[in-house]
Structure 1
Amino acid sequence: MDIGSELCKVIATFIFQKIIADPGGFHYVTSHSKRLKTVVMILNNVVSQLVESRSVRLLKSVTKCYLRLADDPT
């Protein structure tokens, strides 16, 4: 997600968004703190790169990922 062209980043983020939209994928990412921490770190890197690229499409995808990760599964 944090390496490649803007289009590659948008597609990778969209795929990750679809994975965590599924309850099984969401559980897989959030069940271990180290895994979740790694995902959040990568999303943070993407956001910091947005300062230079200013990609609205990528910002929307990353925001949707953050919102999904903030969901309470109960």
Structure 2
Amino acid sequence: MHTDDESPMTHWPQTVIDMMLADIAAGASVERACSRPGAPSRATLFRWIGSNADLAERYADAVRAQVHARYVKE
């Protein structure tokens, strides 16, 4: 079991974080992305986003992609 203060780079495989961000970019909610087997909790993900600039940037990119896919028609 994980604790909320663990670093995403030490406990969860990068592939899990990558898949979560891909889910968000494709339209999934954070709650749904965090429901993946082996994924961190939503609270943990947001704590990491608040303390890790690289992850925060990747999350912001995923949210921008989600918004673009939902609302921008080309």
Which category of TM-score, normalised to the shorter sequence, fits these structures?
A: 0.3 to 0.5
TM-score (norm 2): 0.43
- The answer to which structure, 1 or 2, has the higher relative contact order (CA under 8 A, 6+ apart) is 1
TM-score (norm 1): 0.43
Q: Which has the higher helix share?
A: 1
